[in-house]
Amino acid sequence: MTRVVLSIGSNLGDRLARLQSVVHGLGETVLAVSPVYETAPWGGVEQAPFLNAVLVAADPACDGHAWLRRAHEFEGDAGRIRGERWGPRTLDVDLIACHQSGQGRGDPEKEVVARDSNLTLPHPMAHLRAFVMVPWLDLDPDAELTLPGGTRRIAALLAELEPADREGVRLYERTLES
């Protein structure tokens, strides 16, 4: 079984409907859906605020590359055009972390670490993004992420960010339906 943490975001068009399209598209593989947050844009490009959420999904048929293909399909269906880096987007679906179940009964789950031309896991920028960590903590207060220096708790990584970054992530009045 492969379990994945996905960060979804949109700042163009019907933002909430675009996020909802991912939840619906994943169907019964969705295990948990965070609250929705409205967030300040990240990366220095002047643009409208984003809606962001985090999903946890599991599918025995998907490895990291299959999850990435699904993410790209959702983005394509939403009309995403890859233009300016960190610029406006109809839909962004990022693989944050992927965990593979052990081979035997009772074997612990292991975080997948991948570094190839198409896929980097865990997401190399997740620990710098409050809009990923805040909703992820809503789903799993004990969440951890593997970084080059070792595994770190998401709560500790979030606490290390500038207060303005954390304050730029505000609970949105509407939620996603799972």
Cβ distance 123 to 96 under 8 Å?
Answer: yes
Looking at residue 79, what is its pLDDT? 82
Q: What string of pLDDT tens digits covers the 178 residues of the chain?
A: 689 999 999 999 999 999 999 999 999 999 999 999 999 887 676 789 999 999 999 998 999 999 999 999 999 888 877 766 666 888 999 999 999 886 656 667 888 888 888 888 899 899 999 999 999 999 999 999 999 889 999 999 999 999 999 999 999 999 999 8
Checking DSSP bridges between strand 169-171 and strand 37-39, what pairing results, if any?
A: antiparallel
* C-alpha to C-alpha distance for 82 and 13, rounded to whole angstroms: 16
Domain spanning 2-171: CATH superfamily: 7,8-Dihydro-6-hydroxymethylpterin-pyrophosphokinase HPPK (3.30.70.560)
Give the global pTM: 0.92
- pLDDT tens, position by position, 70-90: 999 999 888 877 766 666 888
Looking at residue 46, what is its pLDDT? 76
Looking at residue 57, what is its pLDDT? 97
Helix (H) or strand (E) holding 27: none
User: 122: which DSSP letter?
Assistant: S
